[in-house]
């Protein structure tokens, strides 16, 4: 496994790689969710490239950029074991040099959900992913369904800008009690960790109501919120029942619906989702 920090080195190396190339962009502090993407990239391609870069432009001024968990030596050990061929670990100064002023702004699908609560977040995500795609030139890139809106935004960007990379979406990996794996779970205290599976429990309640024939998103949201409110450490940021492609809220569920939510557990904001009708 080769660890490359510089853009020029990556570009040089890229010319000699065996095609197809599978790419897993990450912000590090890897967990089983990331590793499932790496394994899939390995399986479906001749070369697997992983990037580790805590992208400053996708964090708002009051967000957790400074305390975002980092452990690159441990990440590299995990990636070596998983058989990744290349790990790209660029420095922020090289990704965003002095005078940087070009952004990728995906409209509409960034207006709701996380986009409404984290202004500028998806501009940062789309810009860095576009840059990484330009550098890595992947055949396929792997993203987790846990970040459902991110997946919609990246697919839109790739389509709109005629990028040649196929986007592969992989299932959310969960802890034994249903909590979706996330690097931010490491912020949770013992009590908060015990409270955190309430997100998944509320999603399962949403699914159960839908299975029983409920098609009114307001009623589903109300029941889900009621369940979360019973957990003293949890407070709902939003619960959404939306079209999985446009992310517009749905009036009546007819086909597929993306049920997604953000909940603060103590000071930690967690997100999760399921798709109805899949």
User: Is 26 near ligand PAF (CB under 6 A)?
Assistant: yes
Can residue 126 be called a binding residue for ligand PAF (CB under 6 A)? no
Q: Which stretch binds ligand PAF (CB under 6 A): 42-50, 93-101, 122-130, 203-211?
A: 122-130
CB of 157 to ligand PAF, least distance (A): 11
Q: Could you confirm whether 34 is annotated as catalytic?
A: yes
Stretch that binds ligand PAF, among 81-89, 123-131, 174-182, 220-228 (CB under 6 A): 123-131
| Interface segment toward ligand PAF; rule CB under 6 A; list 25-33, 73-81, 85-93, 252-260 | 25-33
**Which region, judged by CB under 6 A, interacts with ligand PAF, from 21-29, 77-85, 94-102, 211-219?**
21-29
List all residues 6 or more positions away from 156 whose beta carbon is below 8 Å from its beta carbon: 106, 109
Question: Number of residues in contact with ligand PAF, rule: CB under 6 A?
Answer: 10
Q: Output 47 or 55, the one with its CB closest to ligand PAF.
A: 55
Q: Examine residue 55 and tell whether it contacts ligand PAF (CB under 6 A).
A: yes
| Cβ proximity to ligand PAF, 53 vs 210, nearer residue | 53
Please tell me whether residue 129 binds ligand PAF under the rule CB under 6 A: yes
Closer residue to ligand PAF in complex, CB, 27/158: 27
Q: Which of 49, 106, 125, 233 binds ligand PAF (CB under 6 A)?
A: 125
Q: Based on the shown chain and the rule CB under 6 A, indicate whether residue 95 belongs to the binding site for ligand PAF.
A: no
Question: Distance of alpha carbon 146 from its chain centroid, rounded?
Answer: 6
What SS3 string covers the chain? CEEECCHHHHHHHHCCCCCCEEEEEECCCCCHHHHHHHHHHHHHCCEEEEEECCCHHHCCCCCCCCCCCCCHHHHHHHHHHHCCCEEECCCHHHHCCCCCCCCCCCCCCCCCHHHHHCCCHHHHHHHHHHHHHHHHCCCEEEEECCCHHHHHHHHHHHHHCCCCCEEEEECCCECCCCCECCHHHHHCCHHHHHHCCHHHHHHHHHHHHHHCCCCCHHHHHHHHHHHHHCCCCEEEEEEEEECCCCCCECCCCCCCEEEEEEEEECCEEEEEEEEECC
Using CB under 6 A, pick the residue from 4, 10, 23, 25 that binds ligand PAF. Answer: 25
Q: How far is the CB of 48 from ligand PAF (least distance, A)?
A: 15
The residue ranges that bind ligand PAF (CB under 6 A) are: 25-27, 55, 58, 125, 128-129, 147, 150
Residues classed as catalytic = 34
């Amino acid at each position: 496994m080769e660890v490359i920090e510089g853009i020029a080195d990556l570009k040089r190396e890229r010319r000699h790689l065996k095609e197809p190339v599978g790419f897993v962009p990450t912000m590090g502090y890897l967990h089983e969710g990331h590793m499932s993407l790496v394994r899939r990239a390995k399986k479906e391609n001749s070369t697997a490239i992983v990037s580790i870069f805590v992208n400053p432009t996708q964090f708002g001024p009051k967000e957790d950029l400074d305390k975002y968990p980092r452990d690159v030596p441990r990440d590299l050990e995990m990636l070596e074991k998983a058989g990744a061929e290349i790990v790209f670990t660029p420095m922020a100064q090289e990704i965003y040099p002095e005078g940087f002023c070009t952004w990728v702004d995906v409209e509409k699908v960034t207006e709701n959900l996380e986009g409404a609560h984290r202004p500028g977040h998806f501009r940062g995500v789309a810009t860095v992913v576009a840059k990484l795609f330009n550098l890595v030139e992947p055949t396929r890139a792997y993203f987790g369904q846990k970040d459902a809106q991110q997946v919609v935004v990246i697919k839109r960007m790739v389509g709109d800008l005629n990028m040649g990379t196929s986007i592969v979406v992989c299932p959310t990996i969960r802890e034994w009690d249903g909590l979706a794996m996330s690097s931010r779970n490491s912020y949770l205290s013992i009590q908060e960790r015990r409270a955190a599976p309430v997100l998944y429990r509320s999603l399962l309640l949403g699914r159960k109501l839908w299975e029983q024939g409920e098609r009114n998103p307001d009623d589903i949201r109300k029941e889900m919120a009621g369940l979360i409110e019973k957990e003293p450490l949890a407070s709902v940021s939003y619960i959404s029942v939306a079209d999985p492609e446009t992310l517009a809220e749905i009036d009546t569920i007819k086909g597929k619906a993306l049920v997604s939510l953000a909940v603060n557990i103590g000071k930690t904001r967690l997100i999760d989702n399921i798709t109805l009708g899949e």
